[in-house]
Amino acid sequence: MVAEVDWRSDLKAKMYEIRDAVVPEMRDCCPVCESLSIQYRKGAATWICNSKSVTGYCGQVFVEPAKKAALTAVQKKAIRREKFAAYRDVVLNREHDPKRDAMLKWFKDMRRYLSLQDTKTLCKRCAYIEDMFI
């Protein structure tokens, strides 16, 4: 049996490459706590910070938001999809996968079981006798 090469370190490096390849956009943020959780209030023509941190609720009211480099939701979703595709590519194309082998054996056994190939139908009396004495 051939020893399997540890593929996790290469996959981890690939994940970092995928993450670092995306350039974050400049997004509006709170000038005090730099949180991206801010909301524009039309009536007052101001912004309010909705950030909740360990110290409590920020609640800072400001006129002009600061800018911060951060990923958008679309970018995060694209990164997640690309990372999952890289993971699937590595995991599904391994030479030695004990779980895959076990699943294939289970499928083979289940097909045989569902085909009723090894089934014997007996009356109640004969089934009892066979169970007790054989």
Residue 80: CA count within 13 A, CB half-sphere: 7
Stated pTM of the model? 0.60
Looking at residue 123, what is its pLDDT?
A: 93
Cα 93 off chain centre by = 19
Domain ranges of the chain: 97-134
Instruction: Name the 3-class secondary structure at 49.
Output: strand
* Mean of pLDDT values over 99-120: 89
Looking at residue 92, what is its pLDDT?
A: 80
Looking at residue 119, what is its pLDDT?
A: 86
Residue type (1 letter), 14: K
Looking at residue 3, what is its pLDDT?
A: 66
Residue 61: which of 75, 71, 46, 43 has the closest Cα? 46
Distance CA 78, CA 24 (A): 13
